[in-house]
Amino acid sequence: MSVGRRRNNGRKVDGILVLDKPGGCTSNEILQRVKRMFGAAKVGHTGSLDPLATGVLPLCFGEATKFSQYLLDSDKAYVVKAKWGEKTNTADADGEVVERCATDGLTRELLESTLPDFRGGIEQVPSMFSALKHKGQPLYKLARQGLEVEREARKVHIVQLDLLDFDTEHFSLFVACSKGTYIRNLVEDIAVAIGNLAHVVELRRTWAGPYVESQAKTVEVLSETLELGGHQALDQLLLPLSSSVDHWPCLTLSESSTFYLRNGNPVQVPGAPLDGWVKLIGPDEEFIGVGELQDDGLVAPRRLISNCN
């Protein structure tokens, strides 16, 4: 190998895998495992799930990493099961119980009457056991050192909040919410609102942005696919890059508009919306990236894939 030549660290793989994350591992741990299975050079995820959590975790391969931020910013949904009468230092079953209380007087009607207060816009103070950073250090690392720092409340939006199941030991909720929502905090706050304690014992993400649970592939399915068909078979499980923004307005460009956009120039596109973000399709019906409407009505390129013509 000549001096200065970069070592090949993996295959060029482009696309999105909807992974069914297993419990008991971090999002990064399972990402690295899947990356090795694919032999891929570049993979990123679109928002961490707690080690306890399972479910939809979109993984972006290669060029798809350019669009991971839009998935990170999207709404998500969860089914959460919580245990009454106990508070833990992490707000979930992975932590240590720090406080207990009686569960006498809890009723389904009492819980249901409290839920409307947590729908719509609410504020949350992030847990010390979160990935938010304080002076460059993740809060959870500080928490493990026994340290606590002041955290500002953050505004989030609870799109949907429904009670699925209830008894005096556990309750289960369906939650659809904006990015940055901490389900552990939500469970704790709901319990406190009715004079009790609770922590998360099960958490499953059922959708994230445009991706739903039925699309998710388990690690076991990936392993079987690799064994039977190798990398070629695994690649067939990837969704196209465009799937990350399929819910956006779509504009089809002429050959000349595509050329100018590819060179960083805003263009006029007939039928474009007045504002917002758009999915861009080239003259050969290939996905070329995303753009944003400017105040002057022109479409400006924002993220373009590099392998389009």
Residue in 30, 2, 9 with CA at minimum distance from that of residue 18: 30
- How far apart are alpha carbons 93 and 80 in whole angstroms? 12
Write out the chain in H/E/C secondary structure: CCCCCCCCCCECCCEEEEEEECCCCCHHHHHHHHHHHHCECCEEECCCCCCCCEEEEEEEEHHHHHHHHHHHCCCEEEEEEEEECEEECCCECCCCEEEECCCCCCCHHHHHHHHHHHCEEEEECCCCCCCCEECCEEHHHHHHCCCCCCCCCEEEEEEEEEEEEECCCEEEEEEEECCCCCHHHHHHHHHHHCCCCEEEEEEEEEEECCEEHHHCECHHHHHHHHHHHHHHHHHCCCECHHHHHCCCCEEECCHHHHHHHHCCCCECCCCCCCCCEEEEECCCCCEEEEEEECCCCCEEEEEECCCCC
Note if 296 is an active site residue.
no
Looking at 50, 92, 189, 235, which residue is catalytic? Answer: 50
**What positions carry a catalytic annotation?**
50
